[in-house]
Structure formats: C-alpha cells, structure tokens
Amino acid sequence: MTESNGNPRREFLGLAGKAGLSTVFAQALGVNLGLVNVAQAAAVKPFSFAMIADPHLYGAKDHVFDKQLEDAVLQVNEMKEQPDFVVVLGDVSHNGVLNELEKGKRILGNLRAPIRSIPGEHDWYLDMGAGWRANFGDEFWSFDHKGVHFIGLNSILVPDFWTKAGLTPEQRRDWFMPLNSPVPGVWGTDARQREWLKKDVAKLPTSTPIVIFTHSPLWDYYPRWNFQVSDAVQIRGILSKFTSVMAFHGHVHHTLYNKIGNMTSIGTMSTSWPWPYPPVKLPYPQFQQYRADPSNTSDGMGTAAVSITGPGAGRMQYAPFADSVPQRLIDGFKI
C-alpha cells in the first residue's frame, strides 16, 4: 500500500474526511449489488459516482450543518477515484427557504464532480419546489452514462390538502416536518412521472443496467414515518423488464438494504443527523444494525460512493464521518 498525504489509511480507503473515517463495502454486509449482467458487461465502462443526502441546511450563518456538508464535499473531493458525478438525494434545505437552498448550491458547487439532484420534502412544500428548481433544475430526469441508464424521480408528492384548508405556505410546509406526520398522507411520484418513465425506458434493451434515485425508498419500509413511496409497486412494475435495477435513496438518514425482484434498494446516511431505525425487522442484514453513538455527534452520518466495476457488479461504499462501523466488518476487506 502506497501512501499519500502522509496518511496510509486515506490511501487505503481512497477517501478522506473527519478523523476516524471508515468505509464499509456493501460486500462486507453480504450485499451483492449485481448491477451488471454478463451480457451487458462489454458495454459498461468502469466508473464511479458518489451520493450526498439530507444536508438539511438552515439559514443561520455558520450553522453546524453547513460544516458537515462542507466535510462531505471534502470527503468526496478527496476520493482517490474521482466520481464522474455526485447525486444529491434531497432535503438540501430544512425549511425550504431560498437562502438555505442557495447556500446548499454554493457549498455543493465546491465539488470537483458535477451534481445531479432530486428534491426532498423539506425542499419542496414552502413554495412547491420553485426555489429548489431555480437552484437545482428539473425534479425528474434521466441520462445515459458509460452504458448505464440513470433515472431521478421526485418521490415526495402528495395530493393538495392545503388549498381547501386555507393553509399558509409555512403551515403547509410544517405539516411535513414531523417524522410521523399523518396529515400529508403517504407521498409518492405522480401519474405524470410514471407516464414519462414508461416512455423513457420503452426502447431500452432489457439488459441495460438501470440506476434509479428517489428521496424516499421505493418500498414500504415504515409508512408511519413516511419511509415509503406510495406508487413504488407501479414504479417497480415499469422497471420489471430489466435484468437488474439498482435503487438509491436518502430520507431515512441511515444505511439500509433490501432486494425486491430485480431491484436492489440501498439507503444512504445523511450529512445532518441520523434517524433511528424504526421498530421493524430489517430485510437485511438480519443481525443488529449498528446504531448512532449518542456521545458522538457525527456518528451515523457521512457520504456514499458506488464503483461500477465492469463484469459482475457494482460496489457500494459507505463513508461515515465517524469510526462507528464495527471493526469486524472492516477487517477482511482491507486491500
């Protein structure tokens, strides 16, 4: 192992960040992402992309969440293998106000790689996405990159419950603040996006590797906390013809894994705070998931990166800010 920056650990990880940075390979958790099938392998060129989720920036100057997002940007910028792009998985702002969104754009603008973004509910409901769109562009999109088809959707839309009730924009937004708010109802994409998605993938060969990003998970993880997408079954149905679909999401503020049919679903850590795991059995792993260390304010947060390695698979790497991952998971995967 060679050294760079005088820090052999950084060289090993190919990542840098706060003290005690550690990385978990998805393989360490027994996850085989299985993204690239053999038939398609020849068309896929190896590359990687990174993800940053849930910065929840406030307008206050020098807020601690600013620093944490700056740390995430630094961590990604110092990756040994620079990602081709970084996907920002929503909740850039906490209150959806313009100066929060602009601050997010400014900090994320320090990334060396270009970004693609999808919105979270905190970004959206003050002005129905106007400020977010002005700073981050289209709310749903797709593009092809080195043999992989990438899709981003707006998964936090609900039917209008505010007009008839005469709510102010602030009141509307505040209904989305609690983790277990029952009033907005379970959110999802909408008919407009589903129709677009059908057309978007209609002509793609079934062997095309698909990577899809949504703010919330494309399965019913814990609807009582709005950890779901209400039309996930329909979205998965539209993508069911493909050999392999990899889905990434934020919103739950912790690591998460599931596999339904052809879709592998991966949840990412936030850069702001970790949510607890809800009181349900995780689909995977079946052992105790590590929890945030209450004495460590950075525990359970960080960034993530995916290496598309060519024949066989992609590889997910969690890059926590703090060294909270059990050593038994890290050991054995040092190179």
Q: Which run of H or of E encompasses 133?
A: helix 130-136
Q: Which is nearer to Fe ion, 10 or 122 (CB)?
A: 122
Residues at the interface with Fe ion (CB under 5 A): 54, 91, 120-121, 251
Tell the smallest beta-carbon distance from residue 247 to Fe ion (Å).
16
CA distance 301 to 320: 5
Tell the smallest beta-carbon distance from residue 111 to Fe ion (Å).
19
Residue with tokens 């706060």: 18
Q: Which is nearer to Fe ion, 54 or 190 (CB)?
A: 54
In degrees, rounded to 5, the angle at the alpha carbon of residue 275 between the alpha carbons of residues 237 and 57 is: 95
Question: Do 218 and 212 contact (CB within 8 A), yes or no?
Answer: yes
Question: Do 318 and 51 contact (CB within 8 A), yes or no?
Answer: no
Q: Which is nearer to Fe ion, 14 or 302 (CB)?
A: 302
CA distance 260 to 265: 8
Q: Which is nearer to Fe ion, 10 or 251 (CB)?
A: 251
Tell the smallest beta-carbon distance from residue 54 to Fe ion (Å).
4
CA distance 23 to 202: 37
Q: Which is nearer to Fe ion, 121 or 190 (CB)?
A: 121
Q: Which is nearer to Fe ion, 120 or 320 (CB)?
A: 120
Tell the smallest beta-carbon distance from residue 124 to Fe ion (Å).
9
Tell the smallest beta-carbon distance from residue 200 to Fe ion (Å).
24
Residue 78 makes CB contacts below 8 A (sequence gap 6+) with 10, 15, 16, 17
Q: Which is nearer to Fe ion, 251 or 254 (CB)?
A: 251
Q: Which is nearer to Fe ion, 50 or 210 (CB)?
A: 50
Tell the smallest beta-carbon distance from residue 175 to Fe ion (Å).
13
Of 91, 81, 70, residue with least CA distance to 18: 70
In degrees, rounded to 5, the angle at the alpha carbon of residue 122 between the alpha carbons of residues 116 and 126 is: 110
Question: Do 268 and 255 contact (CB within 8 A), yes or no?
Answer: yes
- Strand-pair partners of 248: 213, 266
- Centre a 10 Å sphere on the Cβ of residue 293 and count the other Cβ atoms it contains: 14
CA distance 322 to 296: 8
Q: How many residues does the chain have?
A: 335
Of 34, 7, 92, 22, residue with least CA distance to 58: 92
Q: Which is nearer to Fe ion, 228 or 243 (CB)?
A: 228
Tell the smallest beta-carbon distance from residue 23 to Fe ion (Å).
22
* 3-class state of residue 108 by DSSP: helix
Tell the smallest beta-carbon distance from residue 32 to Fe ion (Å).
28
Of 261, 307, 308, 256, residue with least CA distance to 283: 256
Tell the smallest beta-carbon distance from residue 215 to Fe ion (Å).
6
Q: Which run of H or of E encompasses 257?
A: strand 256-260
